[in-house]
């Protein structure tokens, strides 16, 4: 049997619905239609009354979720695209994130954001918004890069008492396959060493983990051993694992598909520079998407985002510094 | 068939790159493992790059007369699986690492890292990798701090990083190499001298010299009891000269000259594995015959390494008598907190033209040297000070 990243997300939701009667799913067309990407396929049939279609108002969806959370429910909200979550921005960053801090009432909602670029998706269906949500205290922001993490981290997200922004990468939905679902997982907030090396540390997350691993393969043929750290969770950020890796390699390249300005890559570099300046044998570098809206044309899109090739080129410069 | 990279080998311990001067085979040629393929030139010698295994030369991506770092890919050999395995090279090969695109990337990265320094002034070639340890990364500094090393200790390492900087890998290789050699522990005195010299050397230092006739001094010392040495005459003469104009012994700190508050003059005494500098306080205020007792006392205490705290430090200049080692001329380095060091060479019988007698007469002559911080004074001021000292030494009875 093999299972895709998308199927793992469906299985995790089924598992959560089965395990906990407080869990319900709310989103546009998640019911009979099974969701824009079929992440909730057949769940309405399996769990009648607990998989509910929402109006085309993201603002109202999160407002409802916060209200039910106050009443003790644990909703999973599906945004059709991460880009549209900005319509619900007020509810997420002003209401959900502050609720516990204002009232001592927890807000255990999970907001699923299908995010990131795929060929031809263009400016409104490709955005990576993890950094703006990570900016707000009170939110947990998760970015699974593997089928196993997509499953186990979504289960963890539902169990967490804080509002969780669950960033699932659309590029990985169908491409990424695993043999079976995991029975155990690293805790939330712990990064994973995706590949060991001694010459350079690449810190990345989500789909870029796979570009970094491909770049590491290419560099290995040139004699360089590149370590790849998969952050898994953007917030909390596992600085210890990153610093320990830089201690081994002395060189840091951060790769993110999001825009560079005020991004996760900048945050990682700031932390490493401030906390472990003496470990750096070269200036830490970052590689992000270009600072423009995401282009439609497949060729432009490929040039816009970091790829294995551009990651390897940036890594070579850093290794030879 | 697997394509095996031809790699720039490690050609010597301190060699980071080499230039291609001749291709000995052409793409398409069949070669044996170990056969010479490319002649390269390092800053030390001409050497060859050999074939990693037998096969057909697929291509060269290296360009004639260009320099490549150790580890760079120079070309490809197409070899049979069996041949590659025989040389232990049966690893996955890069999909396309010799095509034009990669070449552009590697060229670009070479430029970006600046591993070659192009001369900007015609006729004045700037040697590549000359900057050595000029840039030290935070990690390198932290590692050196951990091991108690300083920048001067890195001078022997040829850097392989951008602009020839020493990377942590270069550094660790160097340290591992040291472990294979005989190591003895430097005495704390040696380390202290090294530290003072290193700090002193951060300034632009210069030296001027002048021969001085010692006969008047030697005649005068015979009349004294205890007998002062020639170095003490020089010390007293320096103190008197500085009392007349202390600005030349001032220190430059920012935009200010810090003038000495008292003419306390130190003198170098060789002690076991180092040099101590006891100080004669107020050397401009006491005549020679008063100074000589204290001088002899301090020399003895220094040799026993029992100098009291008030007899060291805080001096404005130092006198060193390198003539005791038989040396005629030297360029001593002033202490880091001082601007001047006066040196006295060995006395020698020299012919001197005597105008009155119309013939050469033998005189005892020694060189006086003055090393100084060129930021504070120039050759003219240093020369005038030295002339004044030599004048004073001609009239020892006034000292």
pLDDT at A40 over 90: yes
In SS3 terms, chain A reads as CCEEHHHHHHHHHHHHHHHCCCEEEEECCCCCCCCCCCCCCCHHHHCCCCEEECCCCHHHHHHHHHHHHHCCCEEEEECCCHHHHHHHHHHHHHHHCCHHHHHCCCCCCEEEEEECCCCCCCCCCCCCCHHHHHCCCCCEEECCCCHHHHHHHHHHHHHCCCCEEEEEECCHHHHCEECCCCCCCCCCCCCEEEECCCCEEEEECCCHHHHHHHHHHHHHCCCCCEEEEECCEEECCCHHHHHHHHHHHCCEEEECCCCCCCCHHHHHHHHHHHHCHHHCCCCCEEECCCCCCCCCCHHHHHHHCCCHHHHHHHHHHHHCC
- Number of A–B residue contacts, CB under 8 Å: 60
Range scoring the smallest mean pLDDT among A7-16, A245-254, B47-56: B47-56
User: Does residue B143 surpass a pLDDT of 60?
Assistant: yes
Q: Best mutation site among A222, A272, A318 for testing chain B: the one with the most B CBs within 10 Å?
A: A222
Q: Can you give the residue ranges of every domain in chain A?
A: 3-178, 192-319
Q: Which residue of B has its CA nearest to A224?
A: B71
Q: Does A316 touch chain B (CB under 8 A)?
A: yes
Taking CA–CA distances from A217, the nearest residue in chain B reads B94
> Is the pLDDT higher at A266 or at B156?
A266
Q: Rounded mean pLDDT of A201-220?
A: 98
Helix (H) or strand (E) holding B36: strand B36-41
Residue B141 with chain A: CB contacts under 8 Å: 278
Contacts of B94 in chain A (CB under 8 A): 218, 221-222
CA angle A87, A88, A90 (to 5 degrees): 110
Q: Which of A217, A218, A278 sits opposite B139 (nearest CB)?
A: A278
Q: What single DSSP character describes residue B397?
A: G
Q: What is the pLDDT of residues A71-109, one digit of tens each?
A: 999 999 999 999 999 999 999 999 999 999 999 999 999
Q: Report yes or no: B167 and B159 within 8 Å, Cβ to Cβ.
A: yes
Q: Are B232 and B311 in contact (CB under 8 A)?
A: no
Asked if pLDDT for residue B197 goes beyond 50, the answer is yes
Residues 227-266 of A with CB under 8 A from B: 250
Work out the minimum CA distance from A318 to partner chain B, whole angstroms: 8
Does the interface ipTM go beyond 0.90?
no
Q: Distance (Å) from the C-alpha of residue B14 to the closest C-alpha of chain A?
A: 17
Average pLDDT, stretch B70-90?
82
CATH architecture of the region B204-398: 2-Layer Sandwich (3.30)
Report d(CA A293, CA B69) in Å as an integer: 39
Q: Does residue B125 surpass a pLDDT of 70?
A: no
Give contacts of B92 with chain A, Cβ < 8 Å. Answer: 217, 220-221
- Map residue B228 onto helix, strand or coil: coil
Closest-CA residue to A138 (of A186, A105, A169, A185): A105
- CA B280/CA B262 separation, integer angstroms: 11
Q: Which of B105, B137, B160 to mutate to test the interface with A (most CBs of A within 10 A)?
A: B137
pLDDT band at B9 (very low <50, low <70, confident <90, very high): confident
pLDDT exceeds cutoff 80 at A282: yes
Tell me whether residues B95 and A280 touch, CB distance under 8 A.
no
Lowest mean per-residue pLDDT among A55-59, A299-303, B68-72, B247-251: B68-72
Please tell me which of A10-19, B61-70, B119-128 the model is most confident about, judged by mean pLDDT.
A10-19
pLDDT band at residue B90 under the 50/70/90 scheme: low
Nearest to A115 by CA among A87, A140, A78: A78
The Cα B68–Cα B399 span in angstroms is 67
Average pLDDT of B249-259? 91
Which of B94, B138, B142 shows the shortest C-beta gap to A222?
A: B94
User: Are A279 and B142 inside 8 Å of each other by CB?
Assistant: yes
What superfamily does domain A3-178 belong to in CATH?
Answer: Thiamin diphosphate (ThDP)-binding fold, Pyr/PP domains (3.40.50.970)
Nearest Cα residue to A171 out of A139, A126, A212, A201: A126
Nearest CB neighbour to B139, from listed A218, A221, A280: A280
Residues shown for chain B = 399
> Average pLDDT over chain A, rounded to whole?
97
Mean pLDDT confidence for B363-380? 95
Do the domains B204-398 and B3-113 match in fold? no
Q: Which H helix or E strand runs over B253?
A: strand B251-253
What distance in Å separates residue B106's CA from the closest CA in chain A? 8
pLDDT band for position B107 (50/70/90)? very low
Query: For chain B, which residues lie within 8 Å of any Cβ of chain A, measuring from their own Cβ?
Result: 5, 7, 69, 71, 73, 91-95, 97, 105-106, 108-110, 112-113, 115, 137-142, 161-162, 165, 167-168
Q: Looking at the annotation, which residues of A are catalytic?
A: 125
For residue A316, list chain B residues with Cβ-Cβ distance below 8 A: 105-106, 109
Does the distance separating the beta carbons of B137 and A280 come in below 8 Å?
yes
d(CA B330, CA B370): 10
> Is the Cβ pair B161, A222 closer than 8 Å?
no
Give yes or no for residue B27 having a pLDDT over 80: yes
Share of chain A above pLDDT 70, in %: 100
List chain B domain ranges: 3-113, 132-183, 204-398
Q: What is the pLDDT of residue B97?
A: 43
CA–CA dist B165, B181 (Å, integer): 24
Q: What is B3-113's CATH number, 3.30.360.10, 2.102.10.10, 3.10.350.10, 2.40.50.100?
A: 2.40.50.100
Reply yes or no on domain A192-319 having CATH 3.40.710.10: no
Residue B334 has pLDDT above 50, yes or no: yes
Does A211 reach chain B within 8 Å, measured CB to CB? no
Which of A221, A223, A281 faces B139 most closely, judged by CB atoms?
A281
What are the distances in angstroms from CA A43 to CA A17, A49, A77, A170, B83? Answer: 9, 10, 14, 20, 58
Q: Are B161 and A321 in contact (CB under 8 A)?
A: yes
Least confident piece of the model among A150-154, A268-272, B15-19, B350-354: B15-19
Nearest CB neighbour to A222, from listed B97, B113, B168:
B97
pTM of the shown model: 0.69
Q: What is the pLDDT of residue B117?
A: 42
């Amino acid at each position: 049997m093999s299972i895709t990243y998308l199927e793992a997300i469906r299985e995790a939701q089924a598992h959560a619905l089965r395990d906990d009667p407080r869990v319900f799913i709310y989103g546009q067309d998640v019911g009979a239609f099974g969701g824009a990407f079929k992440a909730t396929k057949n769940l309405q049939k399996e769990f009648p009354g607990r998989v509910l279609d929402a109006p085309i108002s993201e603002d109202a969806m999160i407002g409802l979720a916060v209200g039910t959370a106050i009443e003790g429910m644990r909703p999973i909200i599906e945004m059709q695209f991460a880009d549209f979550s900005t319509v619900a921005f007020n509810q997420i960053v002003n209401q959900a994130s502050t609720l516990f801090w204002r009232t001592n009432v927890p807000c255990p909602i999970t907001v699923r954001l299908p995010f990131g670029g795929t060929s031809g998706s263009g400016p409104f269906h490709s955005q990576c918004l993890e950094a703006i949500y990570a900016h707000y205290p009170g939110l947990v922001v998760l970015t699974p890069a593997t089928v196993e993490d997509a499953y186990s981290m979504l289960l963890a997200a539902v169990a967490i008492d804080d509002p969780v922004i669950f960033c699932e990468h659309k590029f990985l939905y169908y491409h990424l396959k695993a043999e079976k679902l995991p029975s155990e997982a690293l805790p939330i907030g712990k990064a994973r060493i995706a590949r060991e090396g001694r010459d350079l540390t690449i810190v990345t997350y989500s789909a870029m983990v796979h570009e970094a691993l491909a770049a590491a393969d290419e560099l290995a043929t040139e004699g360089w051993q590149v370590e790849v750290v998969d952050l898994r969770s953007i917030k909390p950020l596992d600085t210890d694992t990153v610093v320990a890796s830089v201690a081994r390699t002395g060189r840091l390249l951060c790769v993110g598909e999001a825009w560079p300005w005020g991004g996760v890559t900048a945050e990682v570099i700031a932390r490493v520079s401030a906390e472990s300046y003496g470990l750096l044998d070269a200036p830490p570098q970052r590689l992000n998407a270009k600072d423009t809206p995401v282009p439609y044309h497949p060729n432009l899109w490929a040039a816009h985002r970091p790829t294995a090739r551009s990651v390897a080129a940036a890594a070579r410069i850093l290794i030879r510094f | 068939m697997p394509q095996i990279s031809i790699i720039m080998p490690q050609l010597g311990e301190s060699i980071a790159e080499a230039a291609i001067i001749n291709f000995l085979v052409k793409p398409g040629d069949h070669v044996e493992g170990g056969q010479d393929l490319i002649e390269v030139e390092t800053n030390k010698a001409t050497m060859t790059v050999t074939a990693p295994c037998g096969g057909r030369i697929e291509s060269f991506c290296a360009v004639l007369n260009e320099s490549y770092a150790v580890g760079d890919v120079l070309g490809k050999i197409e070899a049979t699986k069996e041949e590659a395995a025989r040389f232990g090279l049966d690893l996955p090969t890069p999909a396309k690492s010799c095509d034009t695109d990669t070449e552009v990337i590697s060229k670009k990265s070479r430029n970006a890292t600046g591993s070659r320094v192009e001369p900007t002034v015609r006729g004045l070639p700037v040697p590549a990798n000359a900057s050595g340890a000029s840039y030290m990364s935070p990690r390198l500094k932290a590692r050196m701090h951990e091991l108690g090393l300083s920048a001067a200790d890195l001078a022997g390492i040829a850097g392989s990083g951008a602009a020839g900087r020493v990377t942590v890998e270069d550094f660790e290789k160097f340290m591992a190499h040291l472990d294979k050699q005989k190591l003895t522990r430097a005495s704390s005195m040696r380390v202290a001298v090294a530290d003072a010299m290193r700090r002193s050397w951060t300034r632009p230092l210069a030296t001027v010299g002048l021969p001085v006739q010692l006969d008047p001094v030697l005649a005068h010392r015979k009349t004294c009891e205890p007998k002062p040495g020639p170095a003490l005459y020089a010390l007293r003469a320096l103190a008197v000269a500085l009392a007349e104009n202390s600005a030349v012994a001032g220190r430059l700190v920012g935009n200010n000259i810090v003038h000495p508050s008292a003419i306390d003059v130190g003198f170098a005494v060789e002690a076991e594995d180092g040099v101590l500098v006891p100080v004669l306080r107020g050397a401009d205020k006491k005549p020679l015959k008063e100074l000589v007792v204290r001088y002899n006392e301090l020399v003895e205490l220094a040799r026993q390494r029992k100098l009291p705290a008030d007899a060291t430090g805080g001096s404005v200049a130092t006198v060193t008598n390198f003539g005791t080692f038989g040396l005629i001329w030297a360029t001593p380095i002033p202490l880091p907190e001082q601007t001047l060091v006066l040196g006295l060479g060995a006395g020698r019988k020299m012919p001197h033209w005597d105008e009155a007698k119309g013939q050469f007469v033998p005189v005892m002559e020694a060189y006086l040297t003055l090393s100084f911080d060129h930021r504070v004074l120039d050759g003219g001021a240093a020369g005038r000070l030295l002339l004044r000292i030599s004048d004073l030494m001609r009239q020892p009875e006034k000292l």
